[in-house]
Amino acid sequence: MTYQNYSLKQLQQIDAAHHLHPFTDHKELREAGSRIITHANGPFIYDADGTEILDGMAGLWCVNVGYGRDELAEAAYAQMKELPYYNSFFKCSTPTPVLLSKKLAELAPKGVAQVFYGSSGSEANDTALRLVRHFWALEGKPEKNRIISRKMGYHGSTIAGTSLGGMDLMHKQLGGAVPNIVHVMMPYAYELALPGESDHDFGLRAAKAVEDAILEAGADKVAAFIGEPVMGAGGVKIPPMSYWPEVQCICRKYDVLLMLDEVITGYGRTGEWFAAQTFGIEPDTITTAKALTSGYQPLSALLVGDRIAATLVEKGGEFYHGYTYSGHPVACAVALKNLEIMEREGLVDRVKNDTGPYFAQALQERIAGHDLVGEVRSIGLMGAIEIVKDKVTKERFLPAGSAAVTVRDHAIAQGLMLRATGDTMILSPPLIWTRETIDMACARIAKALDLAQ
Ligand code: PLP
């Protein structure tokens, strides 16, 4: 590595001059300079000044087994030496995507046993969109092509991903979304429940919005409903337990496919391998990426249910879709090793039975009471803190998001990396966090809140 030959200032200058960052205001970035992260170990990341920061976001919701895993580096190295690349087009395959597909079929919910690979969550959602429309066309119903999604949903940043997502600011810059995608209300009780409405009833009402959209279009025009089991980038919005089973019931009633985007929730985040299992539903597709390799390699896997796969196979004909790196042998080797580590260390069980409940309790007991906090919520190791001006009226600070950014900056200065989205602070740490790490994080959050007050 040659970066050591450069000073931090030089790296920042070169970065500002030549590097366009994702989701970044470059004018602001040029003024402030990037925080340059140079190395990491276990739950900690280190910046170019050598400052140690506890990573409360697992990178970008992905480094589930934590940093510095030699086994993953060794798996990549061994695979690169043996076969760095070959494609799975034109009736070829390589061993690691074959074995990974078998493993994913074992871990996935019942009836979801086929896998289509890409390199990112966005690509996997493009695949999912094309696949469900192709499915209905093969079934002789090409007009059944509308997709129902949710406001504030995030499904990636490609044109299809942005169109599926319900982020207004992203749509504004799109210059024309993929047609036939409609967005319904999100299941976010803190802001949308009516006075006196129970969580259960709110969940049913939010699900009813899906049924209304199906009826408005006509069931013969609706291909699928897509949603994140827990909305991630939109603010860790956890639906009431009544929501998903009801959505599934509605989808079955009108023969609408159920697509889950588990790019964040997949691979243990909610205390099961997939959040479909946490919420007790059986989707037709599951989009996964990120923690599949714990972020050590770019890889996504669209898990495809038996019904779609059977039509694809039985009706035959080529599905004109795929990526050069679909089933990349090195990325799949790393994924296999990553899943092996997760199983060996019992990380998913640990989230379900130990760290997840402890995290929920710690947020409730140590953070929820703070004057700036309107609500805390969590599921598994995924949590949110709502920043408010007034706990009772839920009034927010103006301009929107400003107070959350202040808390975030104080938290980083205290040695905890977390994220602010709108007025919501988000946590999604590596699954290797222990009770002690949770204690450390909560102390830093409490201090950041005090400093922001
Ligand atoms: N879907 C969800 C739920 C996500 O959170 C993300 C990214 O954060 C994506 C899709 C897009 O994944 P990628 O950034 O790998 O394209």
What ipTM was predicted for this assembly?
A: 0.99
Pocket flag, ligand 1, residue 341 (CB < 6 Å) = no
Atom of ligand 1 nearest to the CA of 121: 12
Measured from the CB, is residue 126 less than 6 Å from ligand 1?
no
Question: Would you state the pLDDT for residue 423?
Answer: 96
Q: Tell me if 261 CB under 6 Å of ligand 1.
A: yes
User: Which fold is adopted by the domain 72-344?
Assistant: Aspartate Aminotransferase; domain 2 (3.40.640)
| Ligand 1 contacts CB of residue 109 (under 6 A) | no
Per-residue pLDDT band for 1 (boundaries 50, 70, 90) equals low
Q: How far does residue 23's CA lie from ligand 1's centre (Å)? A: 13
Q: Give 152-200 pLDDT, tens digit per residue.
A: 999 999 999 999 999 999 999 999 999 999 999 999 999 999 999 999 9
Q: Give yes or no for residue 320 having a pLDDT over 90.
A: yes
Domain 35-65+346-452 has CATH 3.90.1150.10: yes
Angle of helix 121-138 versus helix 306-315 axis, rounded to 10: 60
pLDDT, tens digit (0-9, with 9 covering 90-100), for 48-85: 889 999 999 999 999 999 999 999 999 999 999 999 99
pLDDT tens figures, 94-121: 999 999 999 999 999 999 999 999 999 9
38: tokens are 């140079």
Task: Say if residue 147's pLDDT is above 80.
Answer: yes
Q: Where are the domains of the chain?
A: 35-65+346-452, 72-344
**What spacing in Å lies between the alpha carbon of 233 and ligand 1's midpoint?**
9
* Beta carbon of 57 within 6 Å of any ligand 1 atom: no
| Pocket of ligand 1 contains residue 45 by CB under 6 Å | no
Q: pLDDT tens for residues 6-48?
A: 999 999 999 999 999 999 999 999 888 999 999 999 999 999 8
Residue 154 Cβ inside 6 Å of ligand 1? The answer reads yes
pLDDT reading at 309 higher than 90: yes
